[in-house]
């Protein structure tokens, strides 16, 4: 049964469903055609537009800077929160975990709308300061950092921390030199999760962003409501570039994981 | 050794942040939902929601969309996850990544790609709003269903399946009595990750020119007309649904699924 051809067909069909649209778009991004289906000449014009058009360039740098800033903030907050909660009393820890589940379980629309009401409607914070946007996305990302750091803390050997204290470390030093290195993989994967969440977010961004600022998501959605053809096809190029980056990242991670496995042997 | 910064106090910034920006907004949402424009306590907003055919219709339509999307995702994802975890591809580690990868590509760009293909096939997208919505949502959320199912199925001990077969059960019997019950946690976390976004992700509808509304679109339209009270009502209703859903699934789910909408 293991070599069942039916299983392979099914897997192929699902893969086709997931990737055919992206691949077709990638193909057409290298042509000068503006509609899928009519092949014309080969061209890099979409890629040229993507990197020369001011609106597109500022949208891309804005998205990346926002993602990096929000992820850094979330990683610091979430890691500190996880360490603190881990050593706190059970009641406090449970309360933190419960609050932590709220943004995870909540719909992004509701999270975005509630942060918008609190900051923009009640406290009259100016959207143009980026404060509502950064806070909104941090609310979304931090719980996931917390959730990826906590298992590392649970799996950590606590005797090492005690040993560091016995050997004359101050608690702060012991934390920095003993605990942090042990939970580092959790911190890194939390940071990566935060990056992908921020890059993918549409709803929180729409409800909290400054009027003139766009991330990839809000820009693309606006563009589907009628944008110039050159902008529309330049987004095909953007989609292709992101796809290639993701593929490269996955291949890199697999190679690294394979390397680690071989080292163990 | 006196030290103001001990390990417990490290949580303080996060606790303050959570109270200010997670707990407070919820209270504000409830306050706005249960008051009228001038700040007086009122149930009029809720009465208006449940009294209007349009808004109740929207709620029902969102539930229908979400249920169908979730079922289709489950029907596609379960066999896929099973084949990857226990079937023909179970020795290929890392192959799961290929199915999870779309999660990391911006969803608006992926929907753009699908939309171009659909318009080529269908001509006018507005002709099949229901089909297109389900199709695009399944496309968007499928990886989020495959991942928790895979995590759950891969932990399932293969000897149970073999034992069941040795004792004379046919494969459908084994599936129903052994595999399905043991993968309930995965099913639950997959359903959680698909159902709610499918009720609220109105951008997918917008992008395929579907003029019908789901719950999320109501918040969107109240937001654009600065109607905070009615927007808060929709948010409060969604919050209650989420709460109910979490309570119901919390009992079933013994494990936390990885990944995210």
Residue B198 lies in a domain: yes
Amino acid B256: pLDDT: 43
CB nearest to A84's CB, from B8, B22, B228? B8
Decide if pLDDT at B245 tops 90: no
CB nearest to B113's CB, from A105, A171, A239? A239
Contact B25 A114 (CB under 8 A): yes
Decide if pLDDT at B260 tops 70: no
Amino acid B147: pLDDT: 93
Which ranges constitute the DSSP H helices of chain B?
12-18, 24-33, 44-51, 53-85, 96-100, 107-122, 129-155, 158-166, 171-174, 180-182, 184-200, 202-207, 215-224, 228-252
CB nearest to B197's CB, from A87, A107, A118? A107
Q: What are phi and psi of B4, to 5 degrees?
A: -70, -40
Amino acid B258: pLDDT: 40
Of A248 and A38, more confident: A248
Residue A239 lies in a domain: no
Decide if pLDDT at B61 tops 70: yes
Decide if pLDDT at B225 tops 80: yes
Nearest CA among B185, B182, B203, B202 for reference residue B147: B185
CB nearest to A107's CB, from B83, B102, B238? B238
The distance of A35 to chain B (nearest Cα, Å) reads 8
Query: In whole angstroms, what is the distance from residue B257 CA to residue A32 CA?
Result: 44
Task: Give me the CATH number covering residue B112.
Answer: 1.10.3720.10
Contacts of A158 in chain B (CB under 8 A): none
Interval A156-194: pLDDT, tens: 888 888 899 899 888 888 888 899 999 999 999 999 999
Q: Quick check: B121 contacting A, CB < 8 Å? A: no
Contact A77 B101 (CB under 8 A): no
Query: In whole angstroms, what is the distance from residue A119 CA to residue A128 CA?
Result: 12
In chain A, whose CA is at the least distance from the CA of B140? A18
Contact A105 B242 (CB under 8 A): yes
Show the domain range for B204: 60-157+185-252
How many Cβ atoms are within 10 Å of A220's Cβ, its own excluded? 26
**Domain count across chain A:** 1
Show the domain range for A158: 55-217
Interval B83-98: pLDDT, tens: 999 887 777 777 888 9
Contacts of A103 in chain B (CB under 8 A): 22
Residue B35 lies in a domain: no
Residue B165 lies in a domain: no
Interface test mutation site (partner B, options A114, A200, A206, max chain B beta carbons within 10 A): A114
Decide if pLDDT at A264 tops 70: no
| Mean pLDDT of the A54-81 span | 95
The model's confidence at residue A3, banded by pLDDT at 50, 70 and 90, is low
ipTM over 0.90: no
Grouping H, G, I as helix, E, B as strand and the rest as coil, residue B67 is: helix
Nearest CA among B91, B133, B136, B88 for reference residue B109: B136
| Mean pLDDT of the A99-104 span | 90
pTM over 0.95: no
Of B134 and A257, more confident: B134
CB nearest to B17's CB, from A77, A87, A207? A77
Interface test mutation site (partner A, options B18, B101, B136, max chain A beta carbons within 10 A): B18
Amino acid B261: pLDDT: 39
Contact A203 B14 (CB under 8 A): no
Contacts of B139 in chain A (CB under 8 A): 17-18, 21
Contact B106 A242 (CB under 8 A): yes
Structure tokens at A40: 């014309």
Residue A146 lies in a domain: yes
Average pLDDT in chain A: 90
The model's confidence at residue B2, banded by pLDDT at 50, 70 and 90, is very low
Grouping H, G, I as helix, E, B as strand and the rest as coil, residue B41 is: strand
Amino acid B161: pLDDT: 86
**Domain count across chain B:** 1
Residue B164 lies in a domain: no
Decide if pLDDT at B106 tops 90: yes
Interval A204-261: pLDDT, tens: 999 999 999 999 999 999 888 876 788 888 999 999 999 999 999 988 888 887 766 5
A143-174 core/surface letters (b: 16 or more CB in 10 A; e: else): bbbbbbbbebbeebeeeebeebeeeebebeeb
Of A86 and A260, more confident: A86
The distance of A193 to chain B (nearest Cα, Å) reads 9
Amino acid A34: pLDDT: 80
Query: In whole angstroms, what is the distance from residue A136 CA to residue A111 CA?
Result: 8
Decide if pLDDT at A80 tops 50: yes
Interval B183-195: pLDDT, tens: 988 999 899 889 9
B positions 11-30 inside 8 Å of A (CB)? 11-15, 17-19, 21-26, 28-29
Residue A138 lies in a domain: yes
Q: Quick check: B260 contacting A, CB < 8 Å? A: yes
Task: Give me the CATH number covering residue A201.
Answer: 1.10.3720.10
Residue B39 lies in a domain: no
Residue B247 lies in a domain: yes
The model's confidence at residue A263, banded by pLDDT at 50, 70 and 90, is low
Q: Quick check: B197 contacting A, CB < 8 Å? A: yes
Structure tokens at B35: 């008051």
In chain B, whose CA is at the least distance from the CA of A198? B106
Contact A25 B101 (CB under 8 A): no
Nearest CA among B105, B121, B96 for reference residue A15: B96
Average pLDDT in chain B: 86
């Amino acid at each position: 049964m293991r070599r069942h051809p039916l299983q392979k067909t099914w897997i192929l069909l699902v893969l086709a469903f997931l990737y055919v649209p992206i691949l077709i778009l990638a193909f057409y991004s290298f042509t000068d055609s503006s509609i899928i289906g009519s092949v014309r000449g080969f061209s890099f014009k979409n890629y040229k537009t993507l990197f020369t058009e001011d609106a597109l360039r500022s949208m891309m740098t804005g998205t990346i800077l926002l993602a990096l800033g929000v992820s850094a903030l979330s990683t610091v907050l979430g890691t500190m929160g996880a360490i603190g909660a881990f050593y706190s009393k059970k009641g406090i820890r449970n309360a933190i975990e419960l609050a932590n589940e709220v943004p995870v379980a909540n719909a992004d629309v509701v999270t975005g709308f509630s942060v918008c009401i609190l900051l923009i409607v009640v406290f009259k914070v100016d959207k143009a300061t980026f404060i509502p946007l950064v806070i909104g996305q941090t609310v979304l990302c931090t719980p996931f950092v917390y959730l990826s750091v906590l298992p590392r803390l649970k799996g950590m050997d606590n005797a090492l921390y005690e040993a560091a204290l016995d050997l004359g470390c101050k608690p702060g030093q012991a934390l920095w030199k003993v605990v942090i290195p042990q939970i580092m993989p959790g911190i890194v994967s939390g940071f990566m999760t935060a990056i992908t969440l921020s890059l993918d977010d549409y709803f929180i961004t729409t409800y909290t962003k400054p009027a003139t600022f766009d991330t990839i998501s809000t820009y693309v959605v606006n563009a589907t409501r009628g944008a110039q053809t050159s902008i529309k096809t330049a987004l095909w190029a953007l989609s292709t570039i992101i796809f290639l980056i993701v593929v490269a990242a996955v291949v890199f991670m697999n190679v690294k994981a394979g390397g680690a496995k071989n080292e163990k042997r | 050794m006196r030290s103001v910064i001990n390990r417990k106090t490290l949580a303080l910034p996060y606790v303050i942040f959570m109270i200010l920006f997670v707990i407070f907004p919820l209270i504000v949402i409830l306050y706005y939902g249960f008051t009228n424009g001038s700040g007086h306590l009122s149930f009029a907003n809720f009465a208006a929601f449940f009294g209007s055919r349009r808004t109740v219709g929207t709620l029902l339509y969102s539930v229908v969309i979400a249920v169908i999307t979730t079922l289709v995702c489950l029907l596609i994802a379960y066999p896929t996850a099973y084949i990857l975890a226990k079937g023909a591809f179970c020795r290929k580690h890392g192959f799961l990544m290929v199915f999870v990868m779309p999660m990391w590509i911006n969803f608006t760009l992926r929907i753009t790609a699908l939309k171009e293909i659909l318009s080529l096939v269908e001509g006018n997208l507005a002709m099949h709003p229901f089909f297109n919505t389900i199709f695009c949502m399944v496309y968007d959320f499928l990886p989020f269903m495959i991942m928790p199912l895979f995590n759950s199925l891969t932990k399932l001990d293969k000897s149970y399946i073999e034992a069941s077969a040795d004792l004379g059960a046919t494969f459908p019997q084994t599936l129903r009595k052994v595999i399905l019950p043991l993968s309930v946690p995965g099913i639950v976390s997959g359903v959680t990750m698909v159902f709610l976004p499918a009720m609220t992700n109105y951008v997918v509808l917008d992008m395929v020119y579907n003029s019908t509304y789901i719950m999320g679109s109501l918040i969107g339209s109240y937001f654009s007309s600065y109607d905070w009270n009615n927007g808060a009502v929709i948010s409060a209703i969604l919050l209650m649904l989420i709460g109910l859903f979490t309570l119901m699934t919390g009992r079933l789910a013994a494990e936390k699924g990885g990944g995210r909408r």
